[in-house]
Amino acid sequence: MLALGVGMASAQQVTASANVSEAMAAFSWDEQSFDFGKIAKDVPVSHEFAFTNTGNAPLVILTVKPSCGCTTPEWTKEPIPAGGIGYIKATYNAAKSGVFNKTISVTANVDGQVVVLTIRGEVE
């Protein structure tokens, strides 16, 4: 009788695990790259990357890391429900002239976990 109880408990665990793995958040980005074109030196510029959670579980952004200190990110802090919309805003402060190409790495509870967004342009 004890073996039957253990077998049933194992079957319940497998079923619960299968259901958990089916619930997943997913990014669907409007765009993952943005070109500011020509911008002025020492004048911050911003762009907002919008996304929709096309998964079936709340999407949680864990970290947002810019490739340099010249880029400041802001993002949706609360969990984004399935079908909900969120954003990552990147503000670039150009301290020197020339072409720039910067990235923002976004880690979230999605398959693949890290998405890389890119901003670029030329400082006059």
Q: Specify the pLDDT at position 17.
A: 41
Higher pLDDT, 90 or 13: 90
Q: Specify the pLDDT at position 66.
A: 97
Q: What is the longest distance spanned by two Cα atoms in the chain?
A: 80
Write phi, then psi, for 35 (nearest 5 degrees). Answer: -110, 115
Write phi, then psi, for 66 (nearest 5 degrees). Answer: -80, 160
Write phi, then psi, for 94 (nearest 5 degrees). Answer: -80, 110
Burial class of residue 72 (count of CB atoms within 10 Å of its CB; 0-12, 13-18, 19+): middle
Mean pLDDT of 99-124: 95
Quick: pLDDT tens for 67-79: 999 999 999 999 9
| DSSP annotation string for 66-89 | ESSTTEEEEE--SPBPTT-EEEEE
The answer as to whether 7 is a domain residue is no
The answer as to whether 9 is a domain residue is no
The answer as to whether 74 is a domain residue is yes
Quick: pLDDT tens for 12-61: 444 444 444 578 999 999 999 999 999 999 999 999 999 999 999 999 99
Residues near 4 by beta carbon (within 8 Å), at least 6 away in sequence? none
- Which domain, by its residues, includes 74? 25-123
The answer as to whether 2 is a domain residue is no
The answer as to whether 88 is a domain residue is yes
Structural domains of the chain, count: 1
Q: Specify the pLDDT at position 21.
A: 52
The answer as to whether 47 is a domain residue is yes
CATH of the domain at 68: 2.60.40.10
Q: Is residue 106 over pLDDT 80?
A: yes
The answer as to whether 70 is a domain residue is yes
The answer as to whether 8 is a domain residue is no
